[in-house]
Structure 1
Amino acid sequence: MKRRWIKWAMLGVVLIAGFGAYVWLGQREDKLPEGIASGNGRIEATEVDVATKLAGRLTEIMVREGDMVAKGQTLARMDTRELAARRRSAQAEMQRAEEERRYAAAMLEQQRSQLALVVKDLDRYRRLYASKSIALQSLQRQETARDTARAAVAAARARQANATAAIDAVKARIDEIQSFIDDSTLMAPVDGRVLYRLAEPGEVLGAGGRVLTLLDVSDVTMTIFLPTNQAGRVDLGSDARIILDARPDWVIPARVSFVAPKAQFTPKDVETRTEREKLMFRIKVRIDPELLKAHAEKVKTGLPGMAYLRLGADVLWPPVLKTTLDGA
C-alpha cells in the first residue's frame, strides 16, 4: 500500500512539473508583442570529415568519440615508410644532379677558354694571310676550328642548363613527397568535438578515406520557416533568440545569418499539414561563435526549440526574451 502511495505521489509531481513548464512556455508565447516572430527548429552544427589524401595504412588515432579537439591538433597518422624511402631516393638523385651541374660548369669554362685561344689564332692567321705568308686553305681551317669551338661552348652551356633543370625537377619531386608526408599527419581543421570515429589503426584506406567526423561547435545554427508577411521584414544580421525545449530557462542570443531568396513549401516535419501547404521562407539563425567557445561543452545537435526574431530594428525584446545564457 505504501509503495502504491509513493508511486502515485511521484506521478503527481511529474504531472505538476510538466504542467508548470507548459503553462510557463504558453505564457511566454502569449506575452510576445507585435513585431516578434517565432518558429520551431532544431540545433544544427557543421560536420567536417577528416580524411586521407593518399591511400595507405592507418597507424594511429589519438582521439575518441566525444573528445574536444582544437584546430591544428594532431588526430591520426598514416604509415609514411614508403614515402620516406621515396624521399631518400630523390635526395640521392639530387646529389647526382648537382654533381652533373658542377661538371657541366667546368666543361663550359674549358670550352670558353678553348674558343678564346682559337679566336686569337684566327686573328693571327688573318694577318699572315694578308701579308701573303700563308695559303687561303690554312686560314679556312682556322675559321672552321673557331666555328667548332663556338659549337662546343653552346653544347656545354646547354648541358649546364639541362643539369639545372634536372635539379629543379628533383627539388619539385622532393617537395611533393614531403607534402604527402605532411598530409599523412591528419590534423583538426576546426575547433570541435569528435562525432564519429570511422576507422581504426591497421586499416588500409583509399585516397579520401574518412577517418573521423568532427562537429564544428563554433558554427551552430537553427533553421526555421516564416510566412511571407513576416519573412519580408527580417533583416540579415538582425538580432534573434533561441530557446531550447530541454532548457527553457536559457535564452540564447543569436543573429539571422541567412534568409532564403525564394519561398518554398515547408518540410513534412515542420508544424501542421496546414502550415506545410503554405509557402514559407527558410531562415537560419546563428549563435555567436565567441559565445559558443565559452559553452562548447554544452553544444548538442538535434535539440528542438524555438527561435524568435525581431521584425524591425525599433522592436524591443520583451522581458521573457532577455538573454540568460551567460548567467546559466
Structure 2
Amino acid sequence: MSKTHWLILLVLSAALGLAGFFAWQHYAAPALPEGIVSSNGRIEAERIDVSAKLPGRVSEVLVSEGQWVTAGTLVARLDTLEIDAQLHQAEAMVKQAEQQKLQSDALLKQREAELEFVKLEVTRTEQLAAKGHATQQQLDQLKTAQASAAAGVAAAQAGIDLGVATIASAKASVERLQSIKDDASLFAPRDGRVQYILAKAGEVVGAGGKVVTLTDLTDIYMTIFLPARNAGLLAVGAEARLILDPIPDYVVPAQVSFVASTAQFTPKSVETADERDQLMFRVKLSIPPSLLAKYQEQAKAGVAGVGYVRLDDTARWPDWLQVKLPQ
C-alpha cells in the first residue's frame, strides 16, 4: 500500500474518531451539579391478584389481557350449581319455618281463648258454690282445667319462640350460602389493567387460586439503588426526576417514597470505608397519582430509564432536568 493510501486512511480514522467524540459529547448526559445523583432503574407497578376465596371450577372469565377495568368490575365467575341447590333448600326451610310460626300463632290464640273461657267458668262456679248451687268438686275440676289451659298457652308461646328461632337459623343459612355464592363472583378491587389471565373457563382452582392479575396504574414508581453515602442523605419526600429510554426528550417529575432500611449487595464483612461504599440501598421514586391519571393510557410497567434524586433541597435542577411532559 502506498504512502498516499496510508495518509488517506489516517485522515479518515482521525475524522471518524473526531466525529465519534463530538457525537458522544452531544448525546452524553451533562454532568450533574453538586447535591443531585442518578442511578439506572426500571418502571414498576403494584400488581393485584384477583383470587378465588373458595375452591371451585372457573365458569367464565369476562376480561382479556390488556383491558382496562375499574374498581368493582366483574372479571370472572366460578361455578355455583351446588351452592345454588343448597341455597334453594335453605330458602325453602325459611318458608317452612315461617308457616310453622303462623300455626303456632293460631294455636296460641286458640289456647288463650280456651283459658279465658275456663276462667269465666271458674268465676261463675265460685259464685254458685258460695250460694250452695255448685259443689266443691265441680269447682276443683274447673280450676284444674284452668291450670291445664294456662299450661297450653305457655306451650303455644314457647312454640312461637321456637318458630322465631328456627326462622332466624334458616335465614342465617341463606345468608351464609348467599355469601359463598357471592364469593364465586370475582371483582376488580381497584382500577387497573389486566396483566395476566391465569385460569381459563373449565379449570379448577383451589382456595386462594389466582385467576386474574391486574396492574395498578395508580401506583407506578421507579426502583433505583444508591450507595450508602448517598442514601444516608436522602429524605422521604425528596424531589426526583425520571428520564425513560422510550421518551428521552421528556422529564417526568417524581418523589422519593421509600428508602430501604437495610442494604443490598452487602459484603460478608464490612470493615473499611471502601467496603462500606459497596452497600446499596433500594429507593422508590413514585410518580404523582394526578400525573398517572392524566397519562393513563401511556403508563406502562417494565420501561427502563434513569432516576435522578436531589440530596440537598437547596440544589437547583439543571435546565435539562426541568419537568417536560408530552402535550
| TM-score bin, normalised by smaller chain | 0.7 to 0.9
2:306 aligned residue: 306
Question: Is the CA contact (8 Å cut-off) linking 2:228 and 2:277 kept in structure 1?
Answer: no
CA distance in 2, matches of 1:275, 1:48: 38
Alignment of 1:19-30 (within 5 A): 20=23, 24-27=27-30, 30=31
Given that residues 266 and 279 in structure 2 are in contact (C-alpha distance below 8 angstroms), is that contact kept between their aligned partners in structure 1? Answer: no
Letter in 1 for 2:263: Q
Is the CA contact (8 Å cut-off) linking 2:257 and 2:285 kept in structure 1?
yes
What is residue 70 of structure 1 aligned with on the other side? 70
Q: Is 2:145 aligned against 1:145? A: yes
What is the CA–CA distance in structure 2 between the aligned matches of 1:326 and 1:218, rounded to whole Å? Answer: 19
Q: Take 1:297 and 1:266, find their aligned partners in 2: how far apart are those partners?
A: 36
Which stretch of structure 1 is more off in the superposition, 18-27 or 193-202? 18-27
Cα distance between partner residues in 1 of 2:132 and 2:315: 112
Cα deviation for residue 104 of structure 1 reads 0.9
1:167 correspondence with 2:162: no
Deviations, residues 39-96 of structure 1 (Å, cap 9, x unaligned):
3322111111122233332232233323332322222222233333332222222221
Show the counterpart of 2:155.
Answer: 155
For normalisation by structure 1, the TM-score amounts to: 0.79
What's the CA shift for 1:280?
4.4
The whole-number CA distance in structure 2 between the counterparts of 1:139 and 1:97 is 40
Query: Secondary structure of 1:83's partner?
Result: helix
- 2:96 aligned counterpart, secondary structure: helix
In structure 1, distance between residues paired with 2:63 and 2:229 = 48
Unaligned 5+ segments in structure 2 are 1-15, 268-273
Counterpart of 2:184, as a letter, is: S
Give secondary structure in 1 for the equivalent of 2:200.
Answer: coil
Aligned to 1:186: 186
Alignment CA distance shift 1:118-1:245 (3 Å):
same
Q: Describe the shift of the 1:165–1:315 C-alpha distance in structure 2 as closer, same or farther (beyond 3 A).
A: farther
Hey, what does 1:203 align to over in structure 2? 203
**Other-structure match for 1:104:** 104
- Within 5 Å, which residues of 2 pair with 1:37-76? 37-76=37-76
| C-alpha distance in structure 2 between counterparts of 1:255 and 1:201, whole Å | 42
Structure 1 residues 317 and 129: CA distance shift in structure 2, 3 A: farther
TM-score between the two structures when normalised by the length of structure 2: 0.79
Q: d(CA) in 1 for partners of 2:21 and 2:163?
A: 82
Alpha-carbon RMSD across the aligned residues, in angstroms, is 3.1
Trace 1:1-328 onto structure 2 (pairs within 5 A). 20=23, 24-27=27-30, 30=31, 32-127=32-127, 138-260=138-260, 262-266=261-265, 278-327=278-327
String of CA shifts for 1:186-221, please: whole Å, max 9, x gaps.
Answer: 222222222222122222222322222111121111
Q: Give 1 or 2 for the bigger CA radius of gyration.
A: 2
TM-superposed deviation, 1:233: 4.0
- Tell me the distance in 2 between the aligned counterparts of 1:257 and 1:103: 67
After superposition, give the CA deviation of every residue in 1:14-44 in whole Å (9 maximum; x if it has no partner).
xx899847853431xx1x2223233332211
- Which residue matches 1:4? none
User: Is contact 2:58-2:78 (8 Å) kept?
Assistant: yes
Describe the superposition over 1:130-183 as per-residue Cα deviations: whole angstroms up to 9, x where unpaired.
666656555444443333222222221121122122222222222333333333
For these two proteins, the number of residue pairs brought into alignment is: 304
